[in-house]
Amino acid sequence: MGRISKKTSNTSLQPGDSSNSNSPSKLRHRKGNDDGRQQAASSSEIAVAGQGMVPVEENTKRWRNWWQRTTFTFVMIGGFFTVIALGPLSIMLMVLCLQVLIYREVISLSSVAKKERDLPWSRAMNAYFLVCLEYYLYGHNIHRALERRPWLEAHLRPVFAHHTFISFSLYLIGFVWFVGTLRKGYYRFQMGQFAWTHMALGLVVVQSQYMIENIFEGIFWFFLPIALVIVNDIFAYIFGFFFGRHQLIELSPKKTWEGYIGGGLMTMVFGFMFTALLSDWRFMVCPPPTLSMTAFSNVQCDVNPVFVPKDYAVPGAVSTLLSTLLGHHIATVSIRPVQFHSLAISAFASLIAPFGGFFASGVKRAFNIKDFGNSIPGHGGVTDRFDCQFIMAAFSHTYYMSFIKLSSVTIGSVFSSFLALDPGMQVELFQSIQEYLQNTGSISDAVKSAAVAAAAAAAAVSE
């Protein structure tokens, strides 16, 4: 009865009563509110290609991030060129700073403040192991640099002679130190920290050391791989920003196939053309005579043949097409062999090196962080910008040593080794060389007879 009487009282209201929720004035007011909200919504949203309607604030933030990222990209490029111009020593110092900063960012991911307060030596051990590895790696580089300064090398010869043993002894001290600090209740945490430290040393410090190795072969081999990764990152971002539709990999949701492919193609073109521009600059292609060399130094050397232009015959159909388009006959083109090598390095920078960044994205997801740091506005931490560079440096050094580096063996070095042998071994080596040359048809029978006689005479003298 209560429900019925309540319903009756509600329906007994007059149409003009303001308390009637279905009155025409109420409906008009509600409709007006809905229209206002729709207009406000339409004014606060904007259509973005591939994303539908996006709020204006979000779109404004998107463009603000774009300009911030672009500005600091050019700042980093300018700083990079400045360091390159200052020569090998400044480059080595830059790499050392990057190693320390990135190692610090990576190590901080696994730190637990509460547990580290109970383990006061954990951070000190992380720094100690870094110093040990840097001493080992840079010790070899310093020894190589001092080969042209015999007077200084003579004073440090005992250190260089036992450099590996000293480095290993330092590591053993750290190992014993770590075992001595193991505490009950923290075993798993400490073992995890120990493993994480060694992973960081291997992936960050050891891989980045290939950058230093590339410097000693010529700044070109340091500069080009880094430039290719930077250019690929820029163009991949541009193509993804304007044309991105399809996600490339789940680990990095903002990476798109359009950016991946577009960035790769532009990197190949850039690498082929940019290599030709650098090949005539002795500062780039010559192994550094001294660490104090700069871009303004007068550097001279016998350049690697890959930097010397060669004429290549143009296929008939291509020659006909070019002759028609350009109005004159083209039978050959002049290309430096290193430009073909740059295509291989560019392909790696475009197709494989980005997976170093994807690996870093996996690490960030594992630790539930957006960036490794915030030291570079618009880019995150140092690790976020150099996550692809380490694997790129390792590949470029391996590629150079496998396909480009000239043999360091000379007649003078071989003869010096020959003189170090005792007379009997010298005769044995001579006979082996003579036998090999005859079997390959490199010497005639007359030369063979003379060689046998000379070997016999040398054997008689040695006896």
Which among 134, 213, 205 has a CA at the least distance from the CA of 171?
134
What are the contacts of 146-150 at 24+ separation with CB within 8 A? 148/289, 148/290
Tell me the H-state helices in 296-419.
316-326, 337-351, 354-366, 382-386, 389-399, 411-419
154 vs 167: CA distance, rounded Å: 20
Amino acid in position 50: G
pLDDT single digits (tens) 35-66: 544 444 444 544 444 444 556 666 676 777 77
d(CA 209, CA 232): 22
Q: Helix (H, G, I), strand (E, B), or coil: what is residue 412?
A: helix
Residue 186: pLDDT band (50, 70, 90) is very high
Closest CA to 277 of 220, 232, 239, 235: 220
Residues 408-423 have pLDDT tens digits of 666 766 776 887 788 8
Query: How many Å apart are CA 202 and CA 102, to the nearest integer?
Result: 12
What's the pLDDT at 280? 92
CB neighbours of residue 231 within 10 Å: 21
Question: CA–CA separation, 226 vs 463, rounded Å?
Answer: 60
Q: What is the pLDDT of residues 378-398, one digit of tens each?
A: 677 889 888 899 999 999 999
CA-CA distance, 12 to 9, in Å (whole number)? 5
Summary mean pLDDT of the chain: 82
- Token pair listed for 14: 């007059």
Contacts (Cβ under 8 Å, ≥6 apart) of 42:
none
